[in-house]
Amino acid sequence: MLKNDQVNAFKLSGMAVLALLCTANPVHGQQATDADERAADLADQMAGQEKHNLLHGILAMPVIPGTAMPEDSPLGSGYVPGVSRLGIPHLAETDAGLGVAYHSGIRGDGATALPAATAMAASFDTELVERAGRMIGGEARAKGFNVMLAGGINLARDPRNGRTFEYFSEDPLLSGILGAASVRGIQSNGIISTLKHFAFNSQETGRHVLDVRISDAAGRESDLLAFELAIDYGNPGSVMCAYNGLNGEPTCSSDYLLNQVLKRDWAYPGFVMSDWGSTPGPEAALAGLDHQSGAQIDPQIYFGETLAQLAQSDPRYAQRVEDMNRRILRSMIVAGLLDEERTWPRPIDFEANAELAQEVAQQGIVLLRNRGNALPLADSAGSILVVGGYADLGVMSGNGSSQVMGQDGPAASIPMGDLGPLSFMRAIDLHRSVPLKAIRDRAGAAIITFNDGRYPQSAAREAAKADVVIVFATQWMMEGYDVPSLSLPSGQDELIAAVAGANPNTLVVLETGGPVLMPWLDQTAAVLQAWYPGARGAEAIAAVLFGDVNPSGRLPLTFPRSLDDLPRPQLDGADTLVPSFSNAENRGQTVIADYEIDGADIGYRWFANRGIPTLFPFGFGMSYTSFETSNLQLTAGSHPAARVTVRNTGGRAGGHVVQVYTLDGPANIKRRLVGFGRVELDPGEAREVHIPIEPRLMANWDSDAGQWVIPAGSFTIAVANSAEDMGISSPLVMQRRVVPAGLN
Ligand code: BGC
């Protein structure tokens, strides 16, 4: 346990603060036992039809004919009727991790859009992500929801994944810890949050027909570890299984994933809900699925009458029905859903929430290049040309079920075309936060002009006349569709090259869902990675451009040099799968996605372990000041830790992310992030930072014994500036140790 002064010694060390918070979490201890008893008692009192009420729900959107919409609940992603005789309320479910989903305005209201989860992850700021979760959970509750389908933590196994923007990172520790923080924040409102998509849902195109192949050990040390950590540190009330298959089984009827890994090995006490339309059949109940979501999308309501009949003749089903109800009720009780009458709508302080969204965007922006200190922009710039990226209209957002929009809807909605009932969702929706205006508001006397960037030659002609050029480049992503390449679409590479060729003082702001290639990089003066920056994205970008905010974001994903350097230069299924939201065109085929190629070596581990150079490594990010790290001290034992002194050696206050990695160790352990934290320092200031090391990152998963084992021997531990710049390092000798399940 840390002493108070150690906690204060650094503004925020993710895991230290987490450890403290988790000890105080009400789901542990007596209260959990009480919830179990109360849930069991209620489940016992259920009779007849009541036993199946909670086991299936609908998509609560009027898009599929024949389903009556709920009258006692807001429209949204899902609705599950309660059992009024027993005082059990309904469940009202909304997406997702970036705020209360807009669903094309079906409710006629909007919400506060956080920046992409990649931006949140770039902050490496556990406390900030928890506050962001608290904010969106507060809006969900104020709008009448009591379940948020938020907590997307799939690892970025491939940067082309169309939901990269919705997840956090490529690293199990970072994703697990930040996913937990988001869940804790959301659930602090007395609602349930949902970790998803369990598991290995790392591709979108053809997601319903992809069958992932990966071994137990590789899975446990990568994608599954993120879930394990997020469950231990976040206590989510529910977990959502995924559309894809795993080693020949749909994940929603995978006995291995649901019964063995989740419920047996991790002792998960909450409930598993299916993704919408991903329940394979009633037998999934025996494999560990507790709830059929969006049941009208499936061929049948399996978890209603069908399950009831099976339960009458087969005690295994009868037992499961009991257990399914208990689990759902337990999570409802822990969230406090049974203990108060909830009224909605309640007022929301949109102004305060937008300020928080801006803070997240600012902390998440990553400065990738800054030739000759081109940034921050001097107040003396006489003329600035802003080019492209819809910078005169708004900022980019990612679409799909997680799409959030402000109260007045999108600034512009550009249809991207598709077939089927959900085709209206396929559009580029821009938030009402306008970069051109934000730059004008901040640039004082400078003359600001705009060129839409459609014709590179005309943009270049105007660029030649300006003191500074800021090009906004965008890459739109959407659930259901992977991007086919990492190049900026629609000729933006040619545009940037032409503009930078005409004016060397060209700055590029990237609003992308994930990594992109940058063939023009050397021609530019500076590059900012702004992700999808949310409700106040433009203001955040302007604050960094003009130096009101010192950038401190670090990449949560590797930016590769070429698709050829990825584990799968061509995605499995790229030749046969039809990109489509409904996926109807792909039914009937099975595409094997071979994740054993990279195994647990996702992202930077893949590149570092094979010596493949990157464009920008995981953990990379520049600042307007400089930092020096010294005096590394390591502690072994059951609570390993690193202690290091960080000094701000530059002329501006700024934030620094302390990244602790293993470089090598016994039993073939190689590069892994094992701990992280942040420190904010004034110019000249130095502080000692204490970073707890997560024991499971020092261990290998022993599949035969079914346990985490730290091998005996000497590890090289580095406090690094990125996954490629290893800073200072020191040996750490560990004894062999079995790491017990759960929090240590
Ligand atoms: C998505 C889930 C989402 C659900 C409900 C599915 O298509 O994969 O992430 O929570 O829809 O909207």
Question: β-pairing, 713-720 with 728-734?
Answer: antiparallel
Ligand 1 centroid, distance to 203 Cα (angstroms): 14
Q: Residue 146 — left, alpha, or beta (φ > 0 → left; ψ -120 to 50 → alpha)?
A: alpha
Are 740 and 721 spatial neighbours (Cβ–Cβ below 8 Å)? Answer: no
Could you give the percent of the chain with pLDDT greater than 70? Answer: 95
**Shortest-distance Cα residue to atom 11 of ligand 1:** 276
Residue 294 CA, closest ligand 1 atom number: 5
Query: 422 falls in which pLDDT band (50, 70, 90)?
Result: low
User: How remote is the CA of residue 560 from the centroid of ligand 1, in Å?
Assistant: 29
The per-residue pLDDT for 349 is: 98
Task: Flag whether pLDDT at 10 surpasses 60.
Answer: no
Report the pLDDT value the prediction gives residue 92, as an integer from 0 to 100. Answer: 98
Quote the ligand 1 centre to 607 CA distance (angstroms).
Answer: 32
Q: CB–CB of 81/336 below 8 Å? A: no
Question: Hey, which of 94, 95, 203 would you mutate to test ligand 1's pocket, going by the most ligand atoms within 8 Å of its Cβ?
Answer: 95
**Phi–psi pair at 408, nearest 5 degrees:** -95, 15
Assess whether pLDDT exceeds 60 at residue 440: yes
- Residues in Cβ contact with 399 at an 8 Å cutoff, skipping those fewer than 6 apart: 425, 426, 427, 428, 429, 476, 477, 478, 479
Q: Is the pLDDT of residue 227 over 90?
A: yes
Alpha-carbon span 179 to 187, nearest angstrom? 12
Residue 699: predicted pLDDT: 98
Going 601 to 604 to 606 to 611, the CA torsion angle's sign is negative
| Stretch among 372-386, 486-500, 623-637 having the lowest mean pLDDT | 372-386
Task: Give 100-152 pLDDT, tens digit per residue.
Answer: 999 889 899 999 999 999 999 999 999 999 999 999 999 999 999 999 999 99
- How far is Cα of residue 405 from the mean position of the Cα atoms in its chain? 18
For the chain, first and last CA: distance in Å?
11
Contact between 466 and 448 (Cβ < 8 Å): no
Q: For 471-485, 569-583, 677-691, which range has the lowest pLDDT when averaged over its residues? A: 569-583
C-alpha of residue 276 to centroid of ligand 1, in Å: 6
Say what the pLDDT of residue 744 is. 63
Look at residue 16 in the predicted model and tell me its pLDDT: 39
Between 693 and 416, the more confident residue is 693
Residue 488 contacts residue 422 (beta carbons within 8 Å):
no
Rg of the chain over Cα atoms, rounded to whole angstroms, equals 25
| Ligand 1 site-directed mutation target among 164, 208, 275, 477, most atoms within 8 Å of CB | 275
Ligand 1 atom index nearest CA of 242: 8
pLDDT for residue 7: 29
- What number of helices (H) and strands (E) belong to the chain? 19, 28
pLDDT value at position 582? 78
For the residues 308-313, what does the mean pLDDT come to?
Answer: 97
pLDDT tens per residue, range 664-699: 999 999 999 999 999 999 999 999 999 999 999 999
Beta strand pairing status for 366-370 and 526-529? Answer: antiparallel
CA 478–ligand 1 middle distance (angstroms): 12
Q: How confident is the model at residue 467 (pLDDT cuts 50, 70, 90)?
A: very high
Nearest CA, atom 4, ligand 1? 276
In short, whether 158's Cβ falls inside 6 Å of ligand 1 is no
What pLDDT, on the 0 to 100 scale, is given for residue 425? Answer: 78
Residue 205 has pLDDT above 70, yes or no: yes
Distance 92 CA to ligand 1 centre (A): 14
- What average pLDDT is seen over the chain? 94
3-class DSSP assignment, residue 742 = coil
Pairing verdict, β 147-148 and 91-94: parallel
Q: Residues 87-97, buried b or exposed e (16+ Cβ, 10 A)?
A: ebbbbbbbbbb
Q: Is pLDDT at 595 greater than 70 in this prediction?
A: yes
Pocket test for ligand 1, best of 147, 149, 153, 200 (most atoms within 8 A of CB): 149
This model's pTM is above 0.85: yes
Confidence band of 421 (pLDDT split at 50, 70, 90)? low
User: Which of 61, 102, 401, 582 most suits a substitution to test ligand 1, by most atoms within 8 Å of the C-beta?
Assistant: 401
| Geometric angle at alpha carbon 461, from 459 and 463, rounded to 5° | 65
Helix/strand/coil for 586: helix
- The answer to whether 200 and 595 have CB atoms below 8 angstroms apart is yes
Cβ–ligand 1 contact at 275 (below 6 Å): yes
CA dihedral sign, ordered 126, 130, 135, 136: positive
Torsion from C-alpha of 611, 613, 618, 619, nearest 10 degrees: 100
Summarised one tens digit per residue, pLDDT across range 23-82 is 334 444 566 689 999 999 999 999 999 999 999 999 999 888 889 999 999 999 999 999
Per-residue pLDDT band for 171 (boundaries 50, 70, 90) equals: very high
SS3 of 137-154:
HHHHHHCCCCEECCCECC
What separation in Å is there between the alpha carbon of 23 and the centre of ligand 1? 32
How high is the pLDDT of residue 419?
63
Q: How confident is the model at residue 12 (pLDDT cuts 50, 70, 90)?
A: very low
Is the Cβ atom of 168 under 6 angstroms away from ligand 1?
no
Helix, strand or coil, per DSSP, at residue 310: helix
Cα torsion through 464, 466, 470, 473, rounded to 10: -40
CA distances for 88 relative to 68, 82, 268, 411, angstroms:
21, 5, 22, 41
